[in-house]
Every structure is written in structure tokens, then in C-alpha cells.
Amino acid sequence: MKQYKAFAKVNIFLKITAKRGAYHEIISRFMKVKNLYDILEFVPKEETDAKVNEFKIIGSFSCNTEQNTIYKAYFALKTATSSEKLEQLMHRYAIKVTKSIPAFAGLGGGSSDAATYLKMCNSSLDLGLSLHELAAIGLKVGADVPFFVYGYDSANVSGIGEVVQEFKEELLDIETFTPSIEISTPHVYKIYSEDFYNPIDGFKTQELKETSSRDILKSMSADEANDLFKPALQEYKELKNHFKAGYFFSGSGSSFFKVVD
């Protein structure tokens, strides 16, 4: 069966622009990391598994199946399409994931897996869904999923993640490293809201949206580029031991990255 790559991303910058109920609205530049990806493929189930008719994921995950973003993507797709072909596919096949993107890392591994799974099903089953329709289904799984559905090298992402606008620029050669610190994204946002809340205005938002990723990384420090870095440092003090000059912080962490020239 065909193998599909689910690429990681980094946040070149991530700034808070407002609050929407319990959520924070952002403006962020997402960039694909071309040399870091999970591999997804459909593999035929063993006969005993096929009889059970349950959704099966093969891979090393720390969560149970129902909490897995790929299962959530399956459930969202099934709800949106009521496709019998989709159920039949998952009765006969398991989804095998060869993980390379670390979890809880700010690199979008779970979101990328979910988006890749949606696209695999759409093409394998000829569901005929547009990327916009797949992105809307993906948004029910997680805020970062639409970016991965569209498959852009670089994009400005705003709202709570649902607005994805391609940003045409060179794909930078990015090196990442991830300390073994599990960071809770909701917790970091909570600390940001309580101790650091300082949204940027529309003029600064527009300026960031128009500036190339290379120029942003040249002109901003790690904490200037990412509003979540200071709250993450405050809450996970061991992060400081892993931060090196010239590196930037992706998402809510714990990954750092730099451009390799």
C-alpha cells in the first residue's frame, strides 16, 4: 500500500491578537519541516482483527485509541459523510503510523497525522471532498489540523487556527531539538492569560503577515517571536537548561528550532 508523509511544522512567530470566549486568537507563521515526518499507511488487518470490526491503529502512542487524533479524524469524517465505504475500509484495514515527530513538542505531530489520514481516506475512497471541506472537518479535531490539510510550505494562520493563508516564500532548512519535557498547551495559554496577556494590534499583525520568515528570525528574539515562550519558561523551569542562543521556540513547546544555512 502507498505510504504518506505527515510533516512536522514550526511556528516562526506566534502572537496573541485577542480572546474569543475560552480561546485565544492568534497570528502565526507555520512552516513545514521538510526533514521531519511521520509515515502513515493502510495495512490489511489480521483475520481475527477484521472480525472484531473495530478501528485499529498500529504504532507507539502514549494515549488510548479514542484519544488519538487519527481516531478523532475518522469519527469526524464518518459524522460528516456517513460513508459506508469509510467504515468498510476501517473494518478491513488498520492505520499504521511510524512516528518520528515527538509528542507534546509544539511540532504539530498529532494534527499532521489527523490531516494526512483525512486526505488518505478522501483519495482512497473517492469521497470527492475539497480541501476546504476537509479543513472544516479537521478543525473539529484540532486547531492546527487545517494547516496540514492544505499542505502549504508556509502559511499565515489566524483566528483560533481556522484561517490559513498561504505565504509564498522559500522553505527554510530547519533543525529542531525537543527536550523530554511534556508541556500542556492549555496550561501554557492559561498562564499567558493570567500573567502575560498583552495582545498585539492590527498594524503589528499586518506587518508580521507581510514579513518573510527569514527576516522575522533575523529581527526578533525567541521571546519576542513567541508569546508562549515566557509563560512556558515560568511554568516549566527546566526548559531554561535546554535553551541555546540562536534558537527559537515552537508553539507551546517543548521544541526549539533554528535555520540551518
Active-site annotation, residues: 9, 144
Q: And the C-alpha cell for 249?
A: 521556540
Whole-number Cα distances in Å, 143 to 12, 102, 108, 160, 162: 17, 18, 10, 6, 6
Q: Inter-axis angle of helices 109-124 and 131-139, to 10 degrees?
A: 140
Q: Is 226 within 8 Å of 13 (Cβ atoms)? A: yes
Q: Strands 57-58 and 93-98: what pairing?
A: parallel
**Residue 60 to residue 62: CA distance in whole angstroms:** 7
DSSP symbol at 106: S
Q: Is 31 within 8 Å of 216 (Cβ atoms)? A: no
